[in-house]
Amino acid sequence: MNNRTSTNNNILTTKLTVTAMLTAIAVVLQYIEFSIPLVPSFLKLDFSDLPELIGTFVLGPLWGIVICLLKNIIHLPFGTSGGVGELSNFLLGAVFVVTAGLIYKYHKNKKGVVVACIIGAVAMAVASVIVNFVIVYPAYANMWFGGDMDSIVAMYKTILPSSDTLLKSLVIFNVPFTLAKGLVVSIVTILIYKPLSNVIKKMNSSFSSHKRA
């Protein structure tokens, strides 16, 4: 085995180790969830996107997606939504980390982290309308309500009677909820970025230098 092969193997081992650690943290955080007043009870706040976002900044967007995917696969047997919640969490989490990761890739500094987090949170909030309207809620309705979307809309109407269509409900409730979730995760990430910045820079420099070798 030549030096380049050995180095590449060491880098891959490091990435896999960091991914495993962050996935384990994400799994734990996914079980710590909170109901939020003024939104339907099935919308719960958790901080499991935090390790994915950190993994994205340290390793790259692809690894952030891997963490998000593994977290939801591990959670799947213990979920209560028949996989629909995990699907939603994965799709929206993927939008979050890819958007933030691509921005951070070209702006690797504190300002870049802030901008990446905010735009990633906004992208996730916008995507929540499309993902839920086209994929997640139809799947949920077919699984639990025989395809009756009105049953889902009724959950929103109990809180706000004027939210009488699914699209309106998603815009009124899911967009601000998802945005708030993304911003909370972003704030925590920004606060802990400085202590982690040296590690991130060293890892990024190491990966980049080995790629050029």
Q: For the chain, give every domain's residue range.
A: 3-32+43-212
93 contacts 86 by C-beta, under 8 angstroms: no
Q: pLDDT for 138-156, tens place per residue?
A: 998 888 778 788 888 998 9
**Better-predicted residue by pLDDT, 193 or 179:** 179
Cα 102 to Cα 113: distance, rounded to the nearest angstrom: 11
> In Å, how far are 60, 91, 96 from 66, measured between CA atoms?
10, 12, 13
Query: What pLDDT score does 202 carry?
Result: 67
Q: What is the CATH number of domain 3-32+43-212?
A: 1.10.1760.20
193 contacts 110 by C-beta, under 8 angstroms: yes
Helix (H) or strand (E) holding 44, with range, is strand 44-45
Cα 17 to Cα 28: distance, rounded to the nearest angstrom: 17
Place of tokens 């400085």: 194
Residue type, 210: H
pLDDT exceeds 80 at position 182: yes
Confidence tier at 2 by pLDDT (50, 70, 90): low
**Better-predicted residue by pLDDT, 153 or 212:** 153
Question: Can you give the C-alpha Rg of the chain in angstroms?
Answer: 19
Cα 34 to Cα 69: distance, rounded to the nearest angstrom: 22
Confidence tier at 39 by pLDDT (50, 70, 90): confident
